Each structure stands twice: as structure tokens, then as C-alpha cells.
Amino acid sequence: MIEKYMDTEELKRLLSTLVLILGCLIIAGLFASIVLPGIRNANRPATPTAVAPVVGESGWLDPMEFPPQRGGVVPPVDPKTLMNPSAELIVRGKKLFEDNCTVCHGPQGRGDGPAASTMNPRPRNFTSADEWKNGYHAPAIFKTLSEGIPGTSMSPFDYLPRKDRMALVHYVQSLGSFPHKAAKPQEMDALSRQLASAGEKIPNKIPVSMAMIRLGGEFSAAPPLVIEKDDSSPGAELLRRIVVDPVRAAQYLAQSSSWRISYRDLASAIALEMPANGFSTSSADLSPAEWKLLYAELLKRIKPNRGKS
């Protein structure tokens, strides 16, 4: 049919054009599906390698998380080995600073750590001689490390052995190029005597998350003070009369074991905070015999919790 409208030469040219267009489309499709993805992947920024936390050190932005550490007794040290900044102490101080202090004070001690912006006042800039709360001589820095600074985020580091605190003292001083004035002789003598005192007892140390779990277990809600409906014993009848809130009553008694000493201690404990503790104010009218009965009944129903005092 098409031969009626064009001659053989025109038909060949048309077919050649269609074949060329089809070939270009195939090549473009192959380029888009094979070549372009390779170019994109070649120019893509390298995926940063995840940094594994260092076992035994605190987290970067969470200094309250660290592996549990068992305490012990540190033997006495010779203060003469700690008063001067030896190379060994500086190296040890740098390690301690990186593990405990950089989150607030920054890696260079400029008070610009990752958590610094959340603190008021901001952490101390150790490279400047301005506005040191206790001073920048050795006894003053040791005092700050041992006692902290009230009203700031600087908490005591008294759980560190004295030797480690002195290593931190010398490293902190090394961060500032300004002249550090020497302490008074009597202050240095006092520090020397403190360092020479008997061996230290270092307490156990656990992360906050573990402490919260343990506290949650110790202070979990006690089961309600249940009084069975078919229990018509004198003790059960007495409980029905004076317990207005079985949940609060059970929790109140579970928080302390001092009431277990005697029925008189029970009476004092209940009278102290009723009715907020779940007991009716009518408890004040109980006779000594009724208090003894109540005491015996509660001892049977409220199990001692050894995690509480």
C-alpha cells in the first residue's frame, strides 16, 4: 500500500531513519541503566565508619554511662612523688582528662566540650587565668577535684584515688600557658600531709542506668493490702475498719521496717502520717490490745523487703 505514495528510494531512507532512531533509543537506555548508576556511586561521599565505644571509658555525650567498676583499698603513696609534674603524671593526667573531663571542658580545656552549651555557668576555660573559683595553683585544683563547686555542674571526683587527682592537677595546669602562681608554703604542706595520709578506700562505681534499674527494683510498688471477703477473723475485721486505701497502706509499710520492732512503733508510724498513708484517723482510738492484734496481723501480711531500711 505504501508503494503507492513513495518510490523505493524514499522507502529505504525512511526505514534507515527508523532503524537509526531505534538504535539511539537502545543506546540511551543502556547508558541510563548501566553507566549512570556507576557514576553516581563513584561520586557519592564515603560512608563514615561507625566508631565503636571504647570499653572502660565513659560515653562521648553521656559521662554517666561506663562499665561497672569494683572498688578497693589504695595503699598510701609518697607525696614527694606527686607534688611535681613528672612526665608519668602528665601522661596519666591526660588520659584521665580525656576519659572524664572533655565532655564539658573540651579536648583542649577551653570550656567548649559537647555538653558545655547546656551548662550555666559554663565549664572552666583552663587556658585562661580569669575567674578560677578556687584558684589555679595545685592545692586549689586538688580541692576542686575533691569537693566539686556547689551551684555548678562541677561535681566531686573524690572517687578517683589521690594519685589520679594529682595527675589531673598537673595536666590541667599544663593546659594554660599563663604563669601559675605558686601556692603558699602552708597550703603546699597541707596538701602534702593529705596525700601522705592512710590508704584510701575507693567505693564501687556503677553507671546511672544500672543504678536506676536497681532503685526501681527496690522501690517498686508493694502489692495492695488485700483482705479476703470470707476472712472473718478479728485481725481481718480490724483491718477493714481502719484501712481506707489498701494500696497506699501497703506501700507506706513496705517503705520502712522500723514499725516491725514493736506494736508501739507501728502505732507511732501510722499516727504520724494518717490518713495520707492509707489508714483511717480512727486508728488513733485503738486500744493497746487492738494495736497488738493489728501488729500481729500486719506482720503476717506485709513481707519484709530487704532492699529497704
Structural domains in the chain, sorted by start: 74-204 (1.10.760.10), 234-301 (no CATH)
Rounded Cα distance, 136 and 25, in Å = 77
Task: Identify the band that residue 44 occupies on the pLDDT scale cut at 50, 70 and 90.
Answer: low
Closest CA to 77 of 152, 167, 173: 167
pLDDT of residue 91: 94
pLDDT of residue 15: 75
pLDDT of residue 31: 67
Check whether 309 has a pLDDT greater than 50.
no
pLDDT of residue 69: 66
Helices of type H across the chain? 8-30, 36-43, 87-100, 102-105, 138-147, 162-174, 185-195, 208-218, 234-242, 246-254, 263-273, 288-301
Rounded Cα distance, 138 and 174, in Å = 11
pLDDT of residue 287: 94
Largest Cα span, the chain: 129
Closest CA to 300 of 232, 247, 226: 226
pLDDT of residue 219: 58
More confident of the two residues 169 and 205: 169
Check whether 306 has a pLDDT greater than 60.
no
Output the nine-digit C-alpha cell for 52. 565503636
Report the number of secondary-structure helices (H) and strands (E) in the chain: 12, 2
Task: Identify the band that residue 57 occupies on the pLDDT scale cut at 50, 70 and 90.
Answer: very low
pTM, entire model:
0.47
pLDDT of residue 56: 41
Cβ neighbours around 108 below 10 Å, total: 13
Check whether 32 has a pLDDT greater than 60.
yes
Check whether 201 has a pLDDT greater than 90.
no
Alpha carbon distances (Å) from 283 to 74, 233, 242, 291? 54, 18, 6, 9
Alpha carbon distances (Å) from 222 to 74, 244, 255, 290? 41, 16, 9, 24
